Chains A and B, each alone.
Chain A
Amino acid sequence: MIPVLETKELTKRYHDFTLRAVSVEIPPGSITAFFGPTGAGKTTLMKILAHQIPATSGTVRVFGLGYEDREKEIKNRIGYVPQEPAYYADRSVEFNARFAASFFERWDGGAFYRMLDEFKVSREKAVKRLSRGQKTLLSIALALSHKAELLILDEPTAGLDVILRRAVLERLREFVADGERAVVVSSHITDGLEDIAEYIHFLSEGRLVFESEKDDLPARWKRVHFKDGVLAPDLIGQLVDVRRQPFGSSGLARDFPALRERLAAGIASGDVKVENARLDDILIALHQGE
C-alpha cells in the first residue's frame, strides 16, 4: 500500500532548535496523531509536511509526488489547517473564501457554507473579528471543501468548546472512513484525539522518540498498582513514573507482556492491580525519560 505521505530523514535547522531526521509513513484510511510538549517541533513538522516552510534536508513525498515539481497539484489535494490561520484580516470570511476558492480545482461551495453554518461562523464578519476558535473552524471548513485527500492539522482543537471539538473530531473520523484518505494531526494535549487516532507519534525536542499503533498501547502500557514489598526491586526498576503513597505504590510498565509472568502471582492474590495506562501518562513518562 502506498503511503499517502512519507518523509525520510526530514531535518530543519534553526539557530536555536533543530528538528532531526524525522521519518514517518502515513498509511491511507488512518488518522495519525503527533503529540509532544510545547516546543517539541510539531508545528515545524506540520509546516514542512504542508510545504509552508522548506526543510533543511530530507524528503517529503505526498501521494508519491514531490513538492519540488508538483507543488500546485499536491496543494490542490491536501487541506492544511495551521495553528495560526492567516487570512486577509480586514476582509470578510466570504471574501477570503471566494479568494481561496478561485485557486482550488475541486471547490465545493455548498459543503463550505453548510459547514460555516454548522460551526456558527458568520460569513460577513471580517476575519480579524473572529475568535481564535472561529478562525480555526474557518480553516477546517476550507480544508474540507475542496475534495482533499489528505488533511494536515496543527492543534485544531485549541480554542474550541467541547461540542465543536467533538464535531470536528467526528468529521476527521468520517474523512478517513473510506479507507483511502488520511489525516495528520498534531497536538500538545490528547483531548479526544487519542480516541480517533490509529497511530500515535511522540515528538520531543525535535526528535521522533516513540511511535505506536494506538491499539497496541493498552496491551503494552499498564499502570501497575502494588502493595509495598510485594515486588522485587529490579521489577520496580522496570517501571517508570513510580509513585509511592501511604496505601500502596504504582508505576507505569512500558512492556507489560514481558512482566506478566512475574506479576501473575501478585495479580492472582490481589496484591497487584493492573489498569490501562492513560495516554497522558504515557506521554509524560516518555517526556521525562528524554
Chain B
Amino acid sequence: MSAILRKSAFFYFTHLCTFFIPPMYMLAESKNRGVLSIMALWVPVWLSSSILWSERQESYAFLRTLPVTDRQIVRTKFGLALGFAVVYWLILSLFIRAAWSSTPEYAGYMALASLTCSVSLILAGGWYILSWRFGRSALFASVMAFMMIGILATWIVDVKRMVRAGGIGAIGPRRLAEGPWIYQALLFAIALAVYYGLMKLAVRVKENNEASI
C-alpha cells in the first residue's frame, strides 16, 4: 500500500509546487496581496487536476493482479486527497495570517479558505467515484470542463474584486466569517463525514466496476 501512496503522492506534490509558482511570481512582481486571495479559489482546480494527472497514469489492471484490495486502494487515495487538502488549508492559513492577521478581513479570508478546502475535498471524492464508475475519459472530460470554468471564474472574480477594493475578505462567506470559529470546525466535521460516506460508496463502486481496468 505504501507503494501506491508514494506513487500517487508524487503527482499531488509536483502539482502543489507547480501551482504555487504563478501566484508566487505574481505576488513578487506586483506586490499585490490580492493574489493570495485568489489562491483559495484555486484549491479545487489544483486538487482536481492532481487527481486527474495521478489517475491518468494509474494502472488498476496491474494493481488487480497484486495482493491489494480495492478497499485499501480507495482508502489510500482518499486519504491522500484528504492529506493534501489539509496541507493546502494549512499553507493558506499561514499566508493569510501573515498577510491579514490584524486586518478585519482576516476572518473572511479564513472562512473562504476553509470553505473552498472543504468543498474541494468533497469534489475530490466525487472525481474518484466518477473515474471508477465511468472511466478515465469521463474523468478527463469532466475535470477539464471544471478547470476551464474554475479558471475563468477565478479570473472574472479577480477583475471584479480588484475593482471593488478591499479584497475578497469583504464579501467572503459572511456567516462563516462572522460566526465563532466553531462554525468552521463544524464545517470541517460535516465535510469529513460526507467524505467518509463518499469513500464507502467509492469502495462499492470500485469493486463492482470494470470500467477502471
Direct contact of A and B (CB under 8 A): yes
Question: A107 CA to B108 CA in the complex, in Å?
Answer: 54
Q: Which of these, B2, B62, B66, contacts A75 with CB under 8 Å? A: B66
Q: A80: nearest residue on chain B (CB-CB)?
A: B65
In angstroms, Cα B67 to Cα A86, docked, is: 15
Q: Is A72 touching B61 in the complex (CB atoms < 8 A)?
A: no
Interface residues of B (CB under 8 A from A): 1-3, 7, 57, 59, 61-62, 64-69, 72, 207-208, 210, 213
Evaluate contact between A103 and B57: CB separation under 8 angstroms. Answer: no
**Judging by beta carbons under 8 Å apart, are B67 and A88 in contact?**
no
The answer to whether B65 touches A82 (Cβ under 8 A) is: yes
A213: interface (CB < 8 Å): no
Question: Is the pair B59, A88 in contact by a Cβ cutoff of 8 Å?
Answer: yes
A/B interface sample: 27 pairs, CB < 8 A: A50-B65, A52-B65, A54-B207, A71-B69, A72-B72, A74-B67, A75-B65, A75-B66, A75-B67, A76-B67, A82-B61, A86-B59, A86-B62, A86-B65, A88-B7, A88-B57, A88-B62, A89-B59, A96-B62, A99-B3, A100-B62, A100-B66, A102-B3, A103-B3, A103-B66, A104-B66, A104-B67
Nearest-CB residue, chain A, relative to B70: A71
Interface size of A by Cβ–Cβ distance < 8 Å?
25
Most buried by A among B2, B64, B68: B64
Known contacts: A54-B208, A88-B62, A102-B2. The answer to whether A72 contacts B57 by CB under 8 A is no
Q: B213, A52: Cβ atoms under 8 Å? A: yes
Q: Is the interface of A mostly helix, strand, loop or mixed?
A: loop
CB distance from A69 to the nearest CB of B (A): 10
Residue of A nearest to B210 (CB): A53
Say whether A72 contacts B59, CB under 8 Å.
no
Query: Nearest residue in B to A71 (C-beta to C-beta)?
Result: B69
Once the chains are docked, how many angstroms separate the CA of A82 from the CA of B66?
Answer: 12
Complex Cα spacing A233 to B65, Å: 54
Query: A90 interface residue, CB < 8 Å from B?
Result: yes
* B61→A86 contact, CB < 8 A: yes
A contact residues around B3 at 8 Å (CB): 99, 102-103
Cα distance, A96 to B62, chains bound together (Å): 9
Inter-chain CA distance A154–B34, complex, in Å, is: 60
A74 to B64, CA, bound (A): 12
Chain B residues within an 8 Å CB radius of A75: 65-68
Nearest Cβ on chain B to A54's Cβ, whole angstroms: 7
Does A87 sit within 8 A of B, measured CB to CB? yes
Q: What 5 pairs between A and B have smallest CB-CB spacing?
A: A86-B61, A75-B67, A76-B67, A102-B3, A86-B62
Instruction: Kindly state the separation between the CA atoms of A94 and B2 in the bound complex, as whole angstroms.
Output: 17
CB distance from A103 to the nearest CB of B (A): 5
Residues of A within 8 A of B68 (CB): 72, 75, 103
Question: 9 more A-B contacts (CB under 8 A) besides A72-B69, A80-B65, A99-B3?
Answer: A52-B65, A54-B208, A72-B67, A75-B67, A88-B7, A96-B62, A100-B66, A102-B2, A102-B3
| Chain B residues in 8 Å Cβ range of A100 | 62, 66
Q: List the A side residues contacting B213 at CB < 8 Å.
A: 52-53
CB contacts under 8 Å to B, within A57-78, are: 71-76
Query: Hey, which chain B residues are within 8 Å of A99, CB to CB?
Result: 3, 7
Contacts of B208 in A (CB 8 A): 54
Q: B residues within 8 A CB of A88? A: 7, 57, 59, 62
Q: Given the complex, which residues of B lie within 8 Å of A50, measured CB to CB?
A: 65
The closest CB in chain B to the CB of A89 belongs to B59
* A80, B213: Cα distance in complex, Å: 15
A103, B67: Cβ atoms closer than 8 Å:
yes
Kindly state the separation between the CA atoms of A265 and B65 in the bound complex, as whole angstroms: 57
Could you tell me the distance between the alpha carbons of A19 and B1 in the complex, rounded to whole angstroms?
Answer: 33
- Cα A96 to Cα B68 in complex, Å, equals 15
Q: Which residues of A contact B66 (CB under 8 A)?
A: 75, 100, 103-104
A53 to B64, CA, bound (A): 9
Residues of A within 8 A of B7 (CB): 88, 99
Contact of B59 among A74, A76, A80, A87 (CB under 8 A): A87
Q: How far is the CA of A71 from the CA of B62 in the complex (A)?
A: 15
Please give the distance in Å from A98's CB to the nearest CB on chain B.
Answer: 8
Cβ of B203 to closest chain A Cβ, rounded Å: 13
Tell me the smallest distance from the CB of A109 to a CB of chain B, in Å: 15
B57 CB to closest chain A CB (Å) equals: 7
